[in-house]
Amino acid sequence: MVNTWNSYLQLSAVERILIPVGYMRRTEANIAHDNQVLITLGSRQVAGKIGPGTGFLIKGTASIEATGSDFDATRARFPWARAVMAVTANSIEQTL
């Protein structure tokens, strides 16, 4: 399990969710062993099912990348990033 700020997430040209990687050493090892991931996130700025704010459960696969255009774009925005976690969503479910 790892946490990051919603404001750090970017969407790539091929609709992968890009998350800058600073430390995340255990997460990197987990993804190398099994690339299936579950991500939950929430936003007060999006209307929910029953009021202001909503949440989502994203199921997909992830890779840790330290080269390529997605890494370059992430590194330009976050100079401290040593890699990028690229997540391909298989399903997205609204939870709130």
Q: How confident is the model over 37-91, as pLDDT tens digits?
A: 999 998 888 888 888 899 999 999 999 999 999 999 999 999 999 999 999 999 9
CATH, domain 6-94, list 3.40.50.1110, 2.30.110.10, 3.40.50.620, 3.40.50.300 = 2.30.110.10
What is the residue extent of each domain of the chain?
6-94
Three-state secondary structure along 55-66? Answer: EEEEEEEEEEEC
Q: What span, in angstroms and rounded, lies between the C-alpha atoms of 56 and 64?
A: 22
What is the dihedral angle through the alpha carbons of 27, 28, 33, 34, rounded to the nearest 10 degrees? 60
pTM: 0.89
